Structure 1
Amino acid sequence: MDFLKKIQNQPERIRKMILWITVVVVALILASWWIYNSYWNLKNFKEEEFIKELELPKFTP
C-alpha cells in the first residue's frame, strides 16, 4: 500500500507516464501472446481435414 501512496504523491505528469508505460507493456505482452498462438494454430492447421469437414457442394458443369 505504501507503493500506491508513493505513486499518488507523484506529479500528474509522472503518473501519466507510469500509466502509459504500463499500458504499453501489457499491450506488448498480449500482442506477443496473440502472435505466438496464431503461429502455433497456423503451424498445426491441417488444410485437407478442414476442406473435408467443410463439405462444400461440388459444382459440375
Structure 2
Amino acid sequence: MLKLVKISEFIKKLQTLPELKRKIIFWSIIIILGTSLFILYIKNIGQKIKSFQKEEFLEELKIPQLKEEMKIVPQPEVEENFKKLKELIKEMEEAKHSQYEEK
C-alpha cells in the first residue's frame, strides 16, 4: 500500500513537470527498456546457438535419404528440355553452316 502511494505521488509529480522534461523522461525509459530487451534477446540467441546440435539437426533432415529419393523420382520434363536443347543446337549449327555456304 505504501508503494502505491509513492507511485501515485511520483506520477503526480511527473504530471506537473514541463512537457519537455516529461518527454525526456519518457524517451529515457523507452531507451532503457528497449536496450534491456535487446540484450536479453541477444543472450537468448547466444544460448540457443551454443545448445544447437548440428548432428541431430542433420539427422532429422535425412539428407542422404532425400538424395536417394530424388534419384528415384522420374523427371520427364528434364528429359524433354534436354531434347529441345539438342534440337536448338542442331538448328543453330545448320543455320550457321547455311550462312557460310551462302557467302
TM-score, length basis structure 2: 0.55
Cα deviation for residue 54 of structure 1 reads 2.0
1:5 aligned residue: 12
Q: Deviations over 1:5-35 (max 9, x none)?
A: 0000000000000110000000011001001
User: Unaligned stretches of 5+ in structure 1?
Assistant: none
| Bigger RCO (CA 8 Å, 6+ sep) | 1
Instruction: Please state whether the residue corresponding to 2:34 is helix, strand or coil.
Output: helix
Provide structure 2 residue ranges, at least 5 long, that are not aligned to the other structure. Answer: 1-7, 72-103
Mapped partners of 1:55, 1:7: distance in 2: 60
* Richer in helix (by share): 2
Corresponding residue for residue 44 of structure 1: 51
Once the two structures are aligned, what percentage of the paired residues are identical?
35
> Structure 1 residue 55: deviation in Å?
2.6
Superposed CA RMSD: 1.2
Distance 2:37 2:49 in 1: 18
Question: How far apart are residue 51 of structure 1 and its match?
Answer: 1.0
